[in-house]
Amino acid sequence: MHQPHAEPRRSIYYRYQVFDAWLPPPSAPLQQAGVVIAGAGPIGLVTALALAQQGVPSVVLEAERQVSEGSRAIVFTRRSMEILQQVGVAERVERNGLAWRFGNSVYRGQRVFRMEAPHSDDDRFFPMTNLQQQYLEEYLVDACRAEPLIELRWGNQVTGLTQDGQGVRIEIDTPAGPYTLAADWLVAADGARSPIRTQLGLKLEGASYEGRFVIADIRVDLPLPTERLAFFDPPWNPGNTILMHREPHGIWRLDYQLPPGETPEQALHPDSLRARIDAQLAMIGHPGIAWELDWSSVYSARALTLPDYVHGRVLFTGDAAHLLPIFGVRGANTGFQDAQALAWRLALVARGVAPAHLLASYTQERVGAAREIIDEAGKSTRFMAPPTRGFRLLRDAVLSLSLTQPFVGPLYHWRTSRPHEYTHSPLNSAGDDNALFTAGPAHGAPPCNVRLGPDQFLLDHLGHGFTLLCATAAAALPEALQAEVAAARERGLPLRVIAVGAPQPVTGADLSLADADGHLRARHGLRAGGAYLLRPDQHVCARWMTLDAHRLRAALQQAVGQAATPTTPNPGA
């Protein structure tokens, strides 16, 4: 019988709440569900919330009875904040997190590179926001508990599964014994060690690196701004790299590489931790300062992905689908994009609005993103933790040169997580005017936010379905277009129409933005009659210099995997 910890986890700053385990009714051996999500980490919970916004209920199974141990993912990118805004928790993250945009690389006491992440007046969120993962999970749990379409089952551990073409039978153990859940779909958001991945015998592809790193969270009063600090080859840990990040509640994250041959047990021994943390704090000018440990862990740098995230009725997302080095904050920030990319497709398929093969484009887009990240992260990892003598020599040469030669500085800037552009997605419209645009987000790109007022941005107004952004000065959208929009909604596609550029409300639009200064249109390269179609995950799938009803229909069909034969015109098809 599964017996998760019933005692709150220990922390010097976070109060853990232990939830009641969900127990199966004694006389119901088999239960039914539509979508089941394994794992109530940030990625599973975002998936559940995004599905609920599409009207699709889900059951979330979590083996534990409380949120995660330790701060884990602490840096959330702007794109993650935009995704969290979509699921309704960004405000709490922003209110309680620490926003930042600068990083400093230090060698021999000298700052040899300063990273400045771009931040424009059109962005609602800072490039980075630091918050401990427990808080993020708490906010997501609160949002899920307030959502009637989500059933969160604490203390429910997946122990086995079988599937056929129609669904998945999930074996689950609880403190009151096992039960079986028959689901149409199972989302595996069960983390880096994914038991479901193991159950299915799936192998990750890619590279594992030698380097192992200690993560330690300490409470210490340091008079330093919220900026990332990276120390290379410090005297107390020769050849290795130390990272420092500020977290809320007076907590600092220290992250340092283990000497070769040292075991995790040795590295996490209190004496070892104390000596190294003292040495690091002394090196930055605070010898003997008082500090207290909250949590520590060891991880290794890996860059691995499943080659396919869709296995019959089982869909992988987040760390269950890929393991990415944390340099460049790529774990959770990649996972949120997975969740967002998966949820709208799964919702349309589950509701019967789109064919099941729409899910193939999820694999295509997100495995592509993971491979790109693995390639980029490999470069960062080879600099941070050189795998061979040659790479170590080059790294050391760059460190030495950087004291006087600025041209090597950019090598210190490991590429930070950024939203993937689905440039070659099969969902992009084949017959639009993408190539004719000279400004704005192109095919597959994430949206471009625009400030509309003191506390108002374009992304605040995108719904949870498709968004048609139409530039017009007229009093009404063309009747044929309005009829096409109505027909799409009739077919079950959620579609919101935003008119841009008319001083008065536009008939046929759900929302009219005057855009008096033309800034929104300029950012998108839009003139009257032109339009953008954004998917429910806000990525661009079509844009037109002049939109007509036929091309809107074609783009919507393409975007939900129902494209007519491209060569067409075959009225009978």
Partner 1 sequence: MPSSPAATLTVPGLEQVYDALASAIDQAGPDKTELFLVKLALLNADALADPKRFDTHIQAALRDL
Q: Which of 182, 207, 268, 401 binds partner 1 (CB under 8 A)?
A: 401
User: What minimum distance in Å lies between the beta carbon of 390 and partner 1?
Assistant: 9
Three-class SS string for 480-512? Answer: HHHHHHHHHHHCCCCEEEEEECCCCCCECCCEE
Q: Which of 96, 199, 400, 557 binds partner 1 (CB under 8 A)?
A: 400
Asked if 239 touches partner 1 (CB under 8 A), the answer is: no
Asked if 408 touches partner 1 (CB under 8 A), the answer is: yes
How many residues lie near partner 1 (CB under 8 A)?
10
**Tokens 């599937």 -> residue:** 163
User: What minimum distance in Å lies between the beta carbon of 113 and partner 1?
Assistant: 15
User: What minimum distance in Å lies between the beta carbon of 136 and partner 1?
Assistant: 41
Asked if 398 touches partner 1 (CB under 8 A), the answer is: yes
Nearest-angstrom CA–CA distance, 306 and 118: 32
Asked if 403 touches partner 1 (CB under 8 A), the answer is: no
Cα angle 270, 274, 280 (rounded to 5 degrees) comes to: 145
User: What minimum distance in Å lies between the beta carbon of 398 and partner 1?
Assistant: 7
Asked if 108 touches partner 1 (CB under 8 A), the answer is: no
User: What minimum distance in Å lies between the beta carbon of 226 and partner 1?
Assistant: 33
**228-232, strands of its sheet edge to edge:** 110-116, 102-107, 228-232, 241-247, 251-257, 205-219, 292-305, 322-323
Q: Which of 293, 394, 522, 528 binds partner 1 (CB under 8 A)?
A: 394
Beta bridge partners of residue 172, listed in sequence order: 158, 179
Asked if 393 touches partner 1 (CB under 8 A), the answer is: yes
Beta bridge partners of residue 151, listed in sequence order: 59
User: What minimum distance in Å lies between the beta carbon of 242 and partner 1?
Assistant: 21
Nearer to partner 1, 408 or 528 (CB): 408
3-state secondary structure of 387: coil
User: What minimum distance in Å lies between the beta carbon of 397 and partner 1?
Assistant: 4
**75-77, strands of its sheet edge to edge:** 75-77, 128-130, 98-100
Which strand (E) or helix (H) includes residue 469? strand 466-471
Asked if 397 touches partner 1 (CB under 8 A), the answer is: yes
Asked if 283 touches partner 1 (CB under 8 A), the answer is: no
- In 225-335, the DSSP E strands lie at 228-232, 241-247, 251-257, 292-305, 310-311, 314-316, 322-323
Q: Determine contact, residues 515/508, Cβ cutoff 8 Å.
A: no
Q: Determine contact, residues 149/157, Cβ cutoff 8 Å.
A: no
Cα angle 217, 377, 412 (rounded to 5 degrees) comes to: 75
Nearest-angstrom CA–CA distance, 167 and 154: 23
User: What minimum distance in Å lies between the beta carbon of 405 and partner 1?
Assistant: 7
Nearer to partner 1, 56 or 398 (CB): 398
Asked if 32 touches partner 1 (CB under 8 A), the answer is: no
Region near partner 1 per CB under 8 A, out of 194-202, 255-263, 404-412, 495-503: 404-412
Asked if 407 touches partner 1 (CB under 8 A), the answer is: yes
Nearer to partner 1, 408 or 476 (CB): 408
Nearer to partner 1, 405 or 423 (CB): 405
Nearer to partner 1, 241 or 449 (CB): 241
Region near partner 1 per CB under 8 A, out of 12-20, 284-292, 340-348, 400-408: 400-408
Asked if 238 touches partner 1 (CB under 8 A), the answer is: no
- In 258-371, the DSSP E strands lie at 292-305, 310-311, 314-316, 322-323
User: What minimum distance in Å lies between the beta carbon of 408 and partner 1?
Assistant: 7
Q: Determine contact, residues 367/559, Cβ cutoff 8 Å.
A: no
Residue type, 223: P
User: What minimum distance in Å lies between the beta carbon of 240 and partner 1?
Assistant: 17
User: What minimum distance in Å lies between the beta carbon of 424 and partner 1?
Assistant: 26
Asked if 196 touches partner 1 (CB under 8 A), the answer is: no
The torsion angle over the Cα atoms of residues 326, 332, 334 and 340, rounded to 10 degrees, is: 180
Which strand (E) or helix (H) includes residue 97? none
Nearer to partner 1, 122 or 233 (CB): 233
Nearest-angstrom CA–CA distance, 419 and 408: 26
Nearer to partner 1, 394 or 514 (CB): 394
Nearest-angstrom CA–CA distance, 467 and 427: 15
Q: Which of 198, 405, 456, 546 binds partner 1 (CB under 8 A)?
A: 405
- Backbone φ, ψ for residue 19 (5° rounding): -90, 155
The sign one gets for the Cα dihedral 370, 374, 375, 377 is positive
Which strand (E) or helix (H) includes residue 321? none
Asked if 396 touches partner 1 (CB under 8 A), the answer is: yes
Nearer to partner 1, 151 or 396 (CB): 396
Asked if 233 touches partner 1 (CB under 8 A), the answer is: no
Region near partner 1 per CB under 8 A, out of 221-229, 250-258, 324-332, 395-403: 395-403
Beta bridge partners of residue 183, listed in sequence order: 33, 168
Nearer to partner 1, 236 or 391 (CB): 391
Range 82-101 burial, b when 16+ CB lie within 10 A, else e: bbbbbbbbbebbbebbbbbb
User: What minimum distance in Å lies between the beta carbon of 105 and partner 1?
Assistant: 17
3-state secondary structure of 136: helix
**Interface with partner 1 (CB under 8 A):** 393-394, 396-398, 400-401, 405, 407-408
